[in-house]
Structure 1
Amino acid sequence: MSDSVLSLAGVHLTLQGNAGPVGILRGISLEVNRGETLALTGPSGSGKSSLLMLMGGLERATQGSVQALGQDLGAMNEDQLARFRRANMGVVFQSFHLIPNMTALENVALPLELGGEKDAFPRARAELEAVGLGARTDHYPAQLSGGEQQRVALARAIAPRPALLLADEPTGNLDGANGQAIMDLLFSLRDRHGATLVMVTHAPELAARCDRVVRLTDGQLATERAA
């Protein structure tokens, strides 16, 4: 059985811009193994976030193939992709994407409820306690600091026990202290649940904690090295 969790082969992504087609990714081939931590780095506009979105089936490759956990994401329709993500992936965005009229507990429980888990709320409460927010379960996003909101987003992503955790600039909107705390949480959650972790980051100290660092330039893999 292969240890590969993600396999990208000859991936191109072209989007339509005002002046015509724009090549975002050009010929990306990459393997990510089970249990690995991988940092995607590079200058702004190099295609890092687009590559992460392809890995999560949130964007479709124009050419080439993207396989996750042995499944061809390009062969799935939107409903199939949504079900696959819900069962296998946790995604953490820089801007949190919490539902404002739901409490922290309700936000974390939501994907568990959608997945038909009968113990959605006890599990959600346990994940909030694991990220240090046991006393904030009944607070709404607007009542939480940026660091606390990112912790809720992390708890929501990890609650379904995903095999693959994707994080797009998880510390980008946070100050130094909160950023460090979120870094520590990411790796502790990875260790606790055994998930494979792929993250986009501009933070060298975060990239240095990963098993491998891949740098993108102009939509292509520029360098790849062990951290």
Structure 2
Amino acid sequence: MTDALSLTDVSLSLSGNAGKIDILHDISLTVPQGKTLGLVGPSGSGKSSLLMVMGGLETATSGTIAALGKDITRLGEDDLARFRRDNMGVVFQSFHLIPTMTALENVATPLELAGVRDAFDRAEAELDAVGLSHRTHHYPAQMSGGEQQRVALARASVTRPKILLADEPTGNLDETNGAAIIDMLFSLREQHGATLIMVTHSNELAARCDRVIRLRDGRIDTLQAAAE
């Protein structure tokens, strides 16, 4: 079986006012299809940067990244965007909903971009799956943070992605709403068989994943099964 993701000697450096900053150092790892992986570590350890290069949202400085057997480091910008559209879903800490679109329109957008004819019917069903059928025609500003994150989760999962990336999906939510979002995230992943990779500060949340990688200073500090 092809791994969902395979990274070989991946490094990331960014240029800033203070010069070059090394973010990731020679990261090598594999994530089997259908498994869940938690990325943990102190602030500034490179967790979110690693997630972004996995999804092709940040370009690695060196090394190779294979997603579903395809070397995405060799793809041009347009091909990479199409690959992400067809195979990946992303949930951000800050929701990133389009403020001028209703919940239904936000969720339908990736389906419309993919040319799906029944985009709005599928989007409506996905909103219902996350308990937001009553918010279909509301705009983000008319919803709570927890509701906005549910919309973002519905948008990420509506295309039935093979890889689901989540960057601190509960970071802007209270404990109750955060717990509800995580339960939905794992439930949707299980229903649709996606590979889930999640950045979190919570060791308790990471323990729900099949494997946990702890980063420190842009390097893999430990890799273990969550039960260990």
Shorter-chain TM-score category?
A: over 0.9
Q: Which residue of 2 aligns with 1:25?
A: 24
Q: Which residue of 2 aligns with 1:204?
A: 203
Which blocks of at least 5 consecutive residues in structure 2 are unaligned? none
Q: Distance in 2 between matches of 1:168 and 1:157?
A: 12
Q: Which residue of 1 aligns with 2:126?
A: 127
Alpha-carbon contact 2:2-2:68 (below 8 Å) kept: no
Q: Distance in 2 between matches of 1:151 and 1:19?
A: 38
Q: Distance in 2 between matches of 1:80 and 1:114?
A: 14
- Secondary structure of the residue aligned to 1:49 is helix
Count of matched residue positions in the alignment of Structure 1 and Structure 2: 226
Q: CA deviation at 1:99?
A: 0.3
Deviates more, 1:83-92 or 1:12-21: 12-21
Cα deviations across residues 17-40 of structure 1 (Å, max 9, x unaligned)? 222111100010010000000000
Cα deviations across residues 58-79 of structure 1 (Å, max 9, x unaligned)? 1111111011011111111111
Q: CA deviation at 1:3?
A: 3.5
Cα deviations across residues 109-133 of structure 1 (Å, max 9, x unaligned)? 0000000001100100010000000
| Root mean square deviation, CA, Å | 0.6
- Secondary structure of the residue aligned to 1:167 is strand
Which blocks of at least 5 consecutive residues in structure 1 are unaligned? none
Is 1:217 matched with 2:221?
no
Cα deviations across residues 160-211 of structure 1 (Å, max 9, x unaligned)? 0000000000000000000000010000000111100000000122101100
Q: Distance in 2 between matches of 1:124 and 1:203?
A: 30
Is 1:170 matched with 2:193?
no
- Secondary structure of the residue aligned to 1:45 is coil
Matches within 5 A, 1:1-227: 2-227=1-226
Q: Distance in 2 between matches of 1:3 and 1:203?
A: 29
Q: Distance in 1 between matches of 2:70 and 2:91?
A: 21
Identity rate, percent: 70
Amino acid at match of 1:104: A
Structure 1 segments (4+ residues) deviating >6 Å = none
Amino acid at match of 1:70: G
- Secondary structure of the residue aligned to 2:4 is strand
Q: TM-score, normalised by structure 1?
A: 0.98
Cα deviations across residues 51-98 of structure 1 (Å, max 9, x unaligned)? 000000011111110110111111111111110000000001000000
Q: Distance in 1 between matches of 2:74 and 2:165?
A: 21
Alpha-carbon contact 2:107-2:152 (below 8 Å) kept: yes
Q: TM-score, normalised by structure 2?
A: 0.98
Q: CA deviation at 1:105?
A: 0.3
Q: Distance in 1 between matches of 2:2 and 2:12?
A: 26
